[in-house]
Amino acid sequence: MTKHEWRERDEEGEITYFRAIHHAGRWQYYSTKKTDLEWNAHECLPLAAMETLREVLWNKHQRRRLPLKQFEQVDLLLERLRSEAEAAEGEVAPD
């Protein structure tokens, strides 16, 4: 089991904490804010948070603290999310 944590500031300046756990070939995603009491589970994190996760994993892989396979799993998921976001943008027709 590997656990990865990082934080980001949102538009209001509030810090959001993210956690990604890889266990038994599955990824689990969580987030919380300082004001929340518990971690909130997510099916998938927002695109910006997933890109940050990719960066965190790449840095760990370069230090030989993460197998390449886990990095590639997130990279494939990120490519799928990007293509879905592009497809959603294409579906919105201007009035």
Q: 10-48, pLDDT tens digit by residue? A: 889 999 999 999 999 999 999 999 889 999 999 999 999
% the chain with pLDDT above 90: 82
**Letter for the amino acid at 31?**
S
DSSP 8-state class, residue 35: T
Calculate ∠ Cα 28-33-37, nearest 5°: 85
Which of 8, 30, 27, 10 shows the shortest CA–CA distance to 19? Answer: 30
Per DSSP, the three-state class of 9 is: strand
- This prediction's pTM: 0.86
